[in-house]
Structure 1
């Protein structure tokens, strides 16, 4: 099944970029497609970040309070700083530095499993096999315990679980017990002494080291340090795209690249292999512009806009097909889009609903529980791919 993923703002090639893309593709293949009940024919990733905004002084005008942390991409040397801040701020009470995961798991198991996965991936040094080996089992475990957490996680007197090492051991035992025996060629397994769990422990150790800096720190300080530097690039990318979007006869550089990817996906579309278009953030608005105006001969079986500003931009009437005459009336879904799913997160102030604005769109809320990194959190969490796959299967079955 061809998937075209259109990234949003704040994406630039650099240290860690290829690992982020490889890990995201692996999650699409091994979690999303399995949940959607669809075959794998690859992910197409058009890159347009280098055509976005450029800052003459490298954002030296932005006050952050922690200047070395201004890494605006989705990966890099400050990844653990971001993860630790998000984990520490998510808990209602300041967690002990060596019990960040355990504290978070008792509040929200999905969030803790996603954080464990992200910490492990960040130290895997691009080892896609290890990322794949961990993602699907964690997503399945979270789904199996959606109604109720495992009994061993409940607080007891005297306490039986006091730190993250004990939490990892119990989780590891559950996953190992549920792991089927391999059939055919050897595969990377989740065994107790496997490299995968070594990476988990290494990642959690680094998380503990960074989390110590945030225990007792005011939430506002963390928010300012982590969120303020992203706003200029978000606004800049939006302005650059709208100003340089061009027309159908003379498209700008960003539409030109995305159209080529959509056409490639269209060539791989068959009756059995639908075309799924996923747009994150501004990528959702770009996807809508392309399908509604620039690429009307491309049929998207499912359009998924995630953490996107399509609704806001339509209210402002700045999308490619926006028409002031429709003010107050719902806008029709593009006829070449069979199904449209929109995902927003209440924690993500850059995500917007679509059902009040567009006809024949389904809004779904997704709780990332990641207040500080909500806008970029979706595609790093295995549970998100699991839930999105289930929703895609549901809408296609209607």
Structure 2
């Protein structure tokens, strides 16, 4: 397969419906392929970050303490006033979540809480077995499929970026969609690139020939949108508009002409595959 997709958060549902990680990967790959109009395979790791009991998952106070700090750092990056993100006990995290709802809607509030839960599971410990296992699953698929292109969405861009530093893989193109790689305090400072590599943070992964980033102008995950400022290894950066209700949706990103323009020089035309 010439393209491998790396998913972001809220993808455990594929496993819940399909029954096994292998089937979940195929279902997700089929969904992405339909949007992209090109065949691809998927690196599926959602089961490795699933928090287990999801009772109260929509309530910010149920987040681990570090994930609550992550949420407050996130809304600060979005421009929330200091009084929303400062205080004591659980009051500030509730204020931060409510500010998200007022600014972006209740669906965004729920999404941010779920995102912080999964992202915390990944980044809270540089050496956690779950973090290593997610990277290893991505690398296993890449080494088996030997793709020319990786398309990584959301949290998947963080997993893929780290994986490609920990064990470099030959790629013609890395495409990151709605990436939070540069989000201050939440991801950027927490990136783990492996022994001797952390000082190279921001560079293109060693065996990747070209890196393209695409960010929706209203995507609350893609912060800062001007990712090349922190990641000069990015060769091309496109800002797009997916619409208010779909500003972070992977399949909407995949339909963008900018994605096809980047793929076209490297791969056969869709109708010839």
1:235 is aligned to: 116
Q: Distance in 2 between matches of 1:245 and 1:25?
A: 32
Q: Distance in 2 between matches of 1:251 and 1:60?
A: 21
- What is the alpha-carbon distance in structure 2 between the residues aligned to residue 277 and residue 229 of structure 1? 29
Change (3 A) 1:6 1:368: same
The corresponding residue for 2:228 is 355
* Cα deviations by residue, 1:12-31 (Å, 9 ceiling, x for unpaired): 12459776542322333x3x
Higher relative contact order at CA 8 Å, sep ≥6: structure 1 or structure 2?
Answer: 1
Shift, 1:341, TM fit: 0.2
Cα deviation, 1:137-159, whole Å, max 9, x if unaligned, reads: xxxxxxxxxxxxxxxxxxxxxxx
Partner in structure 1 of residue 2 of structure 2: 2
Contact kept, 8 Å, 1:53 with 1:233, in 2: the verdict is no
1:310 to 181, 186, 190: 181
1:390 aligns with 2:261: yes
Give, in whole Å, the separation in 2 of the partners of 1:382 and 1:6.
12
Long gaps (5+) in structure 2: 19-23, 61-100, 268-273
What residue number does 1:187 align with? none
Instruction: List aligned pairs for 1:57-76, cutoff 5 A.
Output: 57-59=54-56, 62=59
The total of aligned residue pairs comes to 213
Change (3 A) 1:303 1:325: closer
Deviation at 1:10, TM superposition (A): 1.5
1:256 is displaced (CA, Å) by 2.0
Give the 5 Å matches for 1:60-209: 62=59
- Which structure 1 residue ranges, 5 or more long, are not aligned? 34-41, 64-219, 270-274
Conservation of the 8 A alpha-carbon contact between 2:29 and 2:41:
no
Any idea what the Cα deviations from partners look like across 1:40-87, whole Å, max 9, x if unmatched?
xx4221211122242635235539xxxxxxxxxxxxxxxxxxxxxxxx
Cα distance between partner residues in 1 of 2:145 and 2:252: 23
Q: Which residue of 2 aligns with 1:290?
A: 163
In the superposition, the TM-score normalised over structure 1's length comes to 0.47
User: Is the contact between residue 7 and residue 156 of structure 2 (CA under 8 Å) also seen in structure 1?
Assistant: yes
SS at 1:10 equivalent: coil
8 A Cα contact 1:345 1:367, kept in partner: yes
CA contact (8 A) 2:6 2:160 kept: yes
Q: Distance in 2 between matches of 1:354 and 1:3?
A: 23
- Does the aligned pair in 2 maintain the 1:345–1:365 contact within 8 Å? yes
Sort the Cα spacing of 1:260 and 1:227 in 2 relative to 1 into closer, same or farther, 3 A. Answer: same
| Match in the other structure for 1:25 | 33
Question: Corresponding residue for 1:276?
Answer: 149
Residue 241 of structure 1 deviates from its aligned partner by: 1.2
Change (3 A) 1:242 1:277: same
DSSP-derived class of the 1:372 partner:
helix
**Separation in 2, partners of 1:366, 1:313:** 22
Equivalent position SS for 1:5 = strand
Return the index of the structure with the highest Cα Rg: 1
CA distance in 1, matches of 2:44, 2:193: 23
State the Cα RMSD in Å. Answer: 3.4
CA contact 2:246–2:252 (8 Å) conserved in 1: no
Partner of 1:368: 242
Question: Contact (CA 8 Å) 2:48, 2:130: kept in 1 or not?
Answer: no
**Aligned 8 A contact 1:302 1:338 in 2:** yes
Q: Note the alpha carbon deviations across 1:63-114, whole angstroms, 9 max, x for none.
A: 9xxxxxxxxxxxxxxxxxxxxxxxxxxxxxxxxxxxxxxxxxxxxxxxxxxx
1:325: how far off? 5.8
1:49 aligns with 2:46: yes
How far off its partner does 1:359 sit?
A: 2.2
